[in-house]
Amino acid sequence: MQRITPTPGPLTDSPNAGEPAQTPTTDRRWWRTRALAIGSGALVLVLAGAGVAVAQAHKTVTLDVDGHVSTLSTFAGSVETVLAAEHVSVGDRDLLSADGALSEGQTIVVRHAHPVTVVRDGVADVVWTTALTAEEALADLAVRGGVVTIAASRSSAGRVELPLDLRVSGSVDVHVDGTTLVAPAADASVGEVLDQLGVVLAPLDRVSVTTGPSGRLQVVVARVVVQRVTTTVAAPFASSTVNDANRYVGTRTVTTAGVAGTRTVVQDVTTIDGVETARVGVSDELTTAPVDEVVTVGTKARPRAASSVPATSGASGSLNWAALAGCESGGRANAVSASGKYYGLYQFSVSTWQAVGGSGLPSQASAAEQTARAQALYERSGAGQWPTCGRLLFS
């Protein structure tokens, strides 16, 4: 502050005419008093301005973190500063109602996302939701389509839990052991609702929450049982063949009978509410070995079967068959005509030979069979079967 020193003038010219004359000492006191008064006024003005700034910086805001609401008095200038001061973190999946500059009376809403296991149309998946209750989450998931349930899990202490409370506006239907129990409306967890109804869970039981056709919340308890089952099943035997050159072709003999063995199979069988849903093999051991079957088959060629010789009346036996044979074939049982159409002692055609019961070629049959069949032919058709030599039968 610049200090000002006055120059005294005539007393009559003093601005304080009529007042006692001031000496230089008195004059200095007066200026000191004025300076103090002026300085005090400036200080009052500065302090008043600071009070206005403080009043403007102070705010009262509301913070809602996952449904937990508190009223805060703060000098923070931004939403981020408030959250940092309250140790509230916000991740990429979380919801934050606003950010940036903070205003008086503002409500800050934070919803933290958490994973839930959902089953949609029989397929399990993990989704993230910011819903606070199972009811709210199911309503949100239903918009996405399909029949949706939220699967509960077990805590380390064995208590069934959802990442969400039920918090329903009405009662809850609990389906367990083929019956439906009704739990009153409550701001409670699934485990607490089951405890209220006296439902005791086995270690493997599954609990899920869904919305029923009427819109009521449904808690479904599925009884899961895994039993170790041991069964004995047949172990089939193999079969092999052995050739035997001393047995005729076409013969087949079981020389070692096959005997089935046994296997002991151990499986873990899972049933849900009494219905089998899965089998998992634990072990499969051969307890009794099977005995393999051995079949012996013949490889020896069969001899040519002799044709049956037809019976005759005996009257033809007195005829001169040797003379006929000598005329027809020169008496050779294996004779074949030059044309290749006639065979044997009596020069049978193949068709005539077959007509009297012969098989194969006549020239391959014995002389006795050829004569017997020639006699049968004579008794059936006479000597005319041999137009040139037939007359010799009567010589």
Work out the number of other CB atoms within 10 angstroms of the CB of residue 367.
15
Work out the number of other CB atoms within 10 angstroms of the CB of residue 90.
16
Q: What is the pLDDT of residue 6?
A: 39
252 vs 34: which has the higher pLDDT = 252
Q: Between the ranges 56-60, 119-123, 141-145, where is the mean pLDDT highest?
A: 56-60
Q: Which amino acid is at 236?
A: P
Q: What is the DSSP string of 112-126?
A: --EEEEEEETTEEEE
Average pLDDT over residues 58-66: 91
Average pLDDT over residues 190-197: 84
* pLDDT per position as a tens digit, 1-27: 233 333 333 333 334 444 444 444 444
Report the residue count for the chain: 395
Task: Please state at what angle helix 321-329 crosses helix 367-381, rounded to 10 degrees.
Answer: 100
Give me the helices (H) in 284-364, please.
321-329, 350-355
The mean predicted confidence, pLDDT, of the chain is 80
Work out the number of other CB atoms within 10 angstroms of the CB of residue 131.
19
pLDDT interval class at 323 (50, 70, 90): very high
Domains of the chain with CATH codes: 73-111 (no CATH), 114-222 (no CATH), 230-300 (2.20.230.10), 317-394 (1.10.530.10)
Partners of residue 126 on adjacent β-strands:
117
Q: What is the pLDDT of residue 309?
A: 61
Using the predicted structure, report yes or no on whether residue 236 has a pLDDT greater than 90: yes
CB of 352 within 8 A of CB of 360? no
Where is 277: in which H helix or E strand? Answer: strand 275-288
* pLDDT per position as a tens digit, 148-174: 778 777 665 566 666 666 665 567 889
CB of 352 within 8 A of CB of 385? yes
pLDDT interval class at 104 (50, 70, 90): very high
The CA distance from 235 to 258, in Å, is 11
Using the predicted structure, report yes or no on whether residue 306 has a pLDDT greater than 60: no
| DSSP state letter for 302 | P
Average pLDDT over residues 199-221: 85
Q: Which two tokens stand for residue 322?
A: 């040797």
Q: What is the pLDDT of residue 15?
A: 40
- Classify each residue of 47-74 as buried b or exposed e, where b means 16 or more C-beta atoms within 10 Å of its C-beta: eeeeeeeeeeeebebebebeeeeeeeeb
Q: What is the pLDDT of residue 164?
A: 64
pLDDT interval class at 212 (50, 70, 90): confident
The CA distance from 369 to 357, in Å, is 11
Which of 111, 115, 137 lies closest to 124 in space, CA to CA? 115
360 vs 47: which has the higher pLDDT = 360
Q: What is the DSSP string of 159-224?
A: -EE-SSB---SS-EEEEETTEEEEEPP-S--HHHHHHHHTPPPPTT-EEEEEE-TTS-EEEEEE-E
CB of 379 within 8 A of CB of 313? yes
